[in-house]
């Protein structure tokens, strides 16, 4: 059974701080990694994707991938109250079309 | 910016009734997906569709479910005889021409309530 694990949180950080969200996955065949943001009652919204080991930066967001450790993370710099949401980690294998989602980490950014 | 659209936003139905959920994927995308999310639970894959046929489906996607692309723009999910446990948010997604490793963009969802 292919699993994607996330700490459910909530992760509470003050405004302006760095929020660090983590995700582990069980299948070494996983090739593509995605972070989605989901506000309550809304659909997943793509934040970032990463395919290769290392860091990938996009504005205030940095995704980090370590395939040897089967670990992917998302750093949010200068966190804003509007970043308060559930962050979903999703994984896909090259041989499959489906995304396997973690249960999400709820982030609260305190003003 | 192009986006995936879904109708209706909320569907209420009686147990045993048939429902059809509709989606208009992003226009140049080739791969289409349905996911569902039961309240408080993970987003779960149901089915993927490419070149007018199902390319992959989960064990949730049993004989009660079917998908169709009736024309060049719509993509539908039909549930033939709804059960109470089908109550969930149903999300349609689409992606470009690289299949599962390409980024999937989600529609706003249809909330299905089965009474």
A27 at the B interface (CB within 8 A)?
no
Chain A residue with Cα closest to B100? A97
| Per-residue pLDDT in tens (0 to 9) along chain B, 115 residues | 789 999 999 999 999 999 999 999 998 888 999 999 999 999 999 999 998 999 999 999 999 999 999 887 899 999 999 999 999 999 999 998 655 557 999 999 999 999 9
Between CA B65 and CA A85 the distance in angstroms is 31
Average pLDDT, chain A: 94
CB contact under 8 A, A32 and B43: no
Does any CB of chain A come closer than 8 Å to the CB of residue B55? Answer: yes
| Cα distances (Å, whole numbers) of residue B25 to A34, A45, A107, B10 | 20, 15, 30, 18
pLDDT at B97: 61
Tokens of B74: 């719509």
Query: How would residue A6 be classed by pLDDT, with cut points 50, 70 and 90?
Result: very high
Name which of A98, A100, A106 to mutate to probe chain B: the one with the most chain B Cβ atoms within 10 A of its Cβ.
A98
Within an 8 Å CB–CB cutoff, is residue A9 touching chain B?
no
Q: Coil, helix or strand for B87?
A: coil
Look up residue A60 and give its two tokens. 């205030």
The predicted-structure confidence for A44-91, as pLDDT tens digits, reads as follows 999 999 999 999 999 999 999 999 999 999 999 999 999 999 999 999
Secondary structure class of B47 (helix, strand, coil):
strand
Residues of B in contact with A97 (CB under 8 A): 31, 33, 48, 50, 55-56, 99-100
Q: Give me the residues paired with residue A109 across strands.
A: A13
Task: Summarize pLDDT for A21-47 with one digit per residue, the tens.
Answer: 999 999 888 889 999 999 999 999 999
């Amino acid at each position: 059974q292919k699993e994607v694990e996330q700490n459910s949180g909530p992760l509470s950080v003050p405004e302006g701080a760095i929020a660090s969200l983590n995700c582990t996955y069980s299948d070494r065949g996983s090739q593509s990694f995605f972070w989605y943001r989901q506000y309550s009652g809304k659909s997943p919204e793509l934040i970032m994707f990463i395919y290769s080991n290392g860091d990938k930066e996009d504005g205030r967001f940095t995704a980090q991938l370590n395939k040897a450790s089967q670990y992917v993370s998302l750093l949010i710099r200068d966190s804003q109250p509007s970043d308060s949401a559930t962050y979903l980690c999703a994984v896909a294998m090259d041989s499959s079309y489906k995304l396997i989602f973690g249960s999400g980490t709820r982030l609260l950014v305190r003003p | 910016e192009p986006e995936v659209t879904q109708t209706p936003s909320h569907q209420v139905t009686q147990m045993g009734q048939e429902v059809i959920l509709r989606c208009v994927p992003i226009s140049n995308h080739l791969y289409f997906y349905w996911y569902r999310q039961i309240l408080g639970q993970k987003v779960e894959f149901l089915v993927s569709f490419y070149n007018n046929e199902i390319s992959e489906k989960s064990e949730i996607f049993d004989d009660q479910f079917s998908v169709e692309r009736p024309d060049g723009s719509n993509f539908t999910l039909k549930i033939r005889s709804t059960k109470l446990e089908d109550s969930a948010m149903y999300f349609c997604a689409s992606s470009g021409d690289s299949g599962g490793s390409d980024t999937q963009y989600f529609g706003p969802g249809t909330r299905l309530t089965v009474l």
